[in-house]
Every structure is written in C-alpha cells, then in structure tokens.
Structure 1
Amino acid sequence: MTQLSVNINKVATLRNARGGSNPNVVQVAKDCERFGAQGITVHPRPDERHITEQDVYNLKDVVTTEFNIEGYPDERFMKIIEEVRPAQATLVPDPPDVLTSNAGWDTVNNESKLKEIITQIKSWGIRTSIFIEPEDRMMEGAMKCGSDRVELYTEMYASSFHSNKETAVEAYKSSARFANEIGLGINAGHDLDLSNLKYLKEQIPFLMEVSIGHALFCDALYYGLENTIQMYLRELDVN
C-alpha cells in the first residue's frame, strides 16, 4: 500500500500568524499518526516562515512513523539531517526565497554535487529521495547519484488533470516505470488532492509514498482532520 505522509507545514504557518503555540505542531503530528498517517513531512526553510528548526528537533523523538525532512541541501539542512536522523531526507532544489517548491532537480548537471551529498546522508543511515520531474534522463541521473528514491513533482499532472487526465498522467507513468526498472523507489508530491490522487495511484501501482499538506489541511477545515486523513487513505487503497 502507498504510504500517506502528511506535510504539516501549513499548521506551522497558521501558528506563526499569531505567535505562541496554537495550533501545536507537535500535537498535530501525533494526532495525524493516531488518525492513520504513515509518515510526517516537514520542510524547514531558512526564513522559518512555517516549520522552524526548533520544530524539527521537537518532533525528533515524537514521530513514531516515518519522519521525512525535505529541503535544499545547504550546510544548515545537512546539520539538521545529521542531528535528527529522520527516516528519509528529500532533496529539493529550491532557493530560500521561493514561495513553494516549483521545479525538480537537474540530476545530470548536478550529478557530482548530488552524489557527494547523498553519499554523506546515506552514511548516517538515512534513506534519500530527490524531488524530480518526469523525465527518463533525470531518473537515470538520480540513479547515478546514488539516491534510493525519487519524488515525482506532480504539479503538471494536477494542473492538467481535469482537462485530460490520461494525457496528464502519461509522462508520469512512463518515467515512473523506467525508474522502477532501474531500481529507484517512487514517491510523489505537490498539488495532490482528493480529486486526482486515486487516478495517479491506479496508473502507478508501485507508488511507495505520497506527501500531501496544503490540500489535506484545506479539506480538514470542512471534514475534520481525522476524517480527512481517512479519506486520503481510502483514495490510496485501490488494490
């Protein structure tokens, strides 16, 4: 079964709007797990506009499912990864000033850099994943860098889904199949929601993990967090 990792960045965004500790990021992470989530994802950016560095350390001994820390692998990020030792580190190529992750890695032109970073992270016993667009040559580059998995950047799929879902998913099916053949695990994330998640899972049955935050917490405003997590889990249970 594809695992659901809940990205709790938006919880921290809401907290930061007023300061203090309401909503409590640690408690929400524990509740997400209690409600069925199989992982917790955070993206601690340098400006701390949502998840802070302290949040990550507070979550270190609280998360009992898979802890996934994503971000740009600068010195600060690597220090966090080394000290926290999450189950997975997802490398994202976004600079500090972007609003949200908006592109995948060029694993061909960054092969040497990524290989060095991934070798270091794996020496700490941490699984690695690279945020990537659905292109075979980038998948092959990820494999050459030594990554364990790739995370498909699914914004293009999501934006085209309602106009033509077959066309929208085609590149993802093809590149995921190629990645699977060369030994890479497949994750996915970005703009996945209750309308497009099930179809993606149907088309990529060996999908290992999805990381979902923004849409899930928008849905939780109407359906409640526990019910929403269960709804997302049902969309993934298509076997």
Structure 2
Amino acid sequence: MTKLSVNINKIATLRNSRGGNTPDLLEAARNIERFGAQGITVHPRPDERHIRYADVRALKPLLATEFNIEGYPGERFIELVNEVRPAQVTLVPDGPDAITSNAGWDTLKNKDLLTEITQGFQQNGIRVSIFVDADPRMVEGAAQIGADRVELYTEAYATGYRNNREAAIAPFVTAAEAAAACGLGLNAGHDLSLENLEYFAARIPGLLEVSIGHALISEALYLGLENTVRLYRQKLRNTER
C-alpha cells in the first residue's frame, strides 16, 4: 500500500506568524501520526520561514513513523541531515527564495553534484530520493546518480486533472514505468489532494509514498485534522491491488 507522509510546513508557518508556540508543531506531528499518517515530512529553508532547524532536531526523537527531510542540498542542509539521520532525504532543486518547489532536477546536468551528495547521505544510512519532473530521461539520470528513489513532481497532474485526467496522468505513468525499469523506488508529491489523489495512486504502478502538505492542512480547516488524515488514508486504501 502507498504510504502517506504529511508535510507539516504549513503548521510551522501558522505558528511563526504570531511567534510563540501555537500551534505546537511537535504535538501536531505526534497527533498526525496517531491519526494514521505513516510518515512526517519537513522542508527546512535557509531563512527558516516555516520549519526551523531546531524543529528538525526536536522532531527526530519524538516520531514513531518515517521521517523525511526535503530541501536544497546546501552545506547547512547537508550538515543537518547527516546530524539528524532521517529515514529519507529528498533532494529538491529550488533556491532559497522559492516560495515552494516548482521544478524537478535536471539529473543529467547535475549528475556530478548529486552523485557526490547522494553517496554521502547513503554512507550514513539515509535513503535518498531525488525530486524530478515526469520525464523518463530525468528518472534514468537519477538511477545513474545512484539514488534509491525519485519523487515525481505532480503539480502538472493536479493542474490538468479536472480538464482531462487521463491526459494529465499519462506522462506520470510513463515516468513510473521508467523508474521501475531502472530499479528505483517511486514517491510523488505536490498539489495532490483529496480530489485527485485516488485516481493518481490507482494509475501509477509501484507508488511507494506520497508527501502531502498544503492541500491536507488546508482541507483540515474545514474537515478537522484527524478526519482529513483518515480520509487521505482511505483514498490510498481504495487503490490497493
């Protein structure tokens, strides 16, 4: 079954908007696990505008599920990940000024950089996933780098879902097949929601994990956090083969 990892950046954004510790990020993470999530994702950025580096350190000993840290592999990020040693690190190409991730890696042009970084993390027992567009060439490049998984950047699917979901998902099926052919594990994330997740998970072969934050936390404003996490889990259970 595809695992659900919940990105808690938006909870940190809300906390930071007023200072103090409300909402309590650590309590929220523990509750999200208790509600059924199988992983917690964070994306610490250099300016710490949402997740702080201290949050990452505080979360590690508290979590009972899989911890995934994503981000651009600058020197400070690399040091943090090697210190905390999460189950998985997801490498994304967005720079420090990006509002959110908006493209996958060019794994061919960045092969040397990513190979060195990937090997360093793997030597510390950390699984490495590389964020890529739904392009078989980029998937194959990630395999050449030596990554363990790729995470497909799903914004294009989410944007096209309502107009023509079959056309929207087609390149992702092709990319998933390329990942399987290369022996790569497969994750996905960005703009997946209660509306479009079930169809995506049902059509994508070998999907191991989805990382969902913005939509899930937004939907929780209307549906409640516990109910929303459970609804996402049900969407994924509906696709069990």
| Interval containing the TM-score (normalised by the shorter chain) | over 0.9
Q: Contact 2:6/2:212 (CA < 8 Å) preserved in 1? A: yes
Q: CA deviation at 1:205?
A: 3.6
Amino acid of the structure 2 residue aligned with 1:89: V
Q: CA deviation at 1:212?
A: 0.3
- Secondary structure at the aligned position of 1:188 is classed as strand
Amino acid of the structure 2 residue aligned with 1:61: P
Aligned to 2:199: 199
CA distance in 2, matches of 1:225, 1:205: 29
Aligned to 1:13: 13
CA distance in 2, matches of 1:154, 1:140: 18
Aligned to 1:97: 97
Aligned to 1:233: 233
- Secondary structure at the aligned position of 1:40 is classed as strand
Aligned to 1:222: 222
Amino acid of the structure 2 residue aligned with 1:29: A
CA distance in 2, matches of 1:205, 1:231: 22
Q: Does 1:67 align with 2:67?
A: yes
Q: Does 1:152 align with 2:152?
A: yes
CA distance in 2, matches of 1:49, 1:184: 32
CA distance in 2, matches of 1:231, 1:60: 26
Q: Contact 2:176/2:205 (CA < 8 Å) preserved in 1? A: no
**Residue-by-residue CA offset, 1:17-72 (whole Å, 9 max, x unaligned):** 00000000000000000000000000000011100000001101011100000000
Amino acid of the structure 2 residue aligned with 1:180: A
- Secondary structure at the aligned position of 2:4 is classed as strand
**Residue-by-residue CA offset, 1:175-217 (whole Å, 9 max, x unaligned):** 1011111100000000000010000011014200000001001
Aligned residues: 239
- Secondary structure at the aligned position of 2:207 is classed as coil
The TM-score normalised by the length of structure 2 is 0.98
Q: CA deviation at 1:86?
A: 0.2
* Runs (5+) with no aligned partner, structure 2: none
Aligned to 2:171: 171
What percent identity do the matched residue pairs reach? 59
Q: Contact 2:151/2:187 (CA < 8 Å) preserved in 1? A: yes
Aligned to 2:209: 209
- Secondary structure at the aligned position of 1:208 is classed as strand
CA distance in 1, matches of 2:8, 2:60: 14
Question: Structure 2 matches for 1:42-61, cutoff 5 A?
Answer: 42-61=42-61
Q: CA deviation at 1:123?
A: 0.2
Amino acid of the structure 2 residue aligned with 1:143: A
Q: Does 1:121 align with 2:114?
A: no
Q: Does 1:32 align with 2:55?
A: no
Runs of 4 or more, structure 1, over 6 Å off, are: none
Amino acid of the structure 2 residue aligned with 1:38: Q
Amino acid of the structure 2 residue aligned with 1:8: I
Q: Contact 2:173/2:205 (CA < 8 Å) preserved in 1? A: no
Aligned to 1:77: 77
**Residue-by-residue CA offset, 1:211-233 (whole Å, 9 max, x unaligned):** 00010011111111110000000
- Secondary structure at the aligned position of 2:29 is classed as helix
Q: Contact 2:149/2:186 (CA < 8 Å) preserved in 1? A: yes
Give the root-mean-square deviation of aligned CA atoms: 0.6
- Secondary structure at the aligned position of 2:100 is classed as coil
Aligned to 1:180: 180
* Runs (5+) with no aligned partner, structure 1: none
CA distance in 2, matches of 1:77, 1:187: 21
The TM-score normalised by the length of structure 1 is 0.99
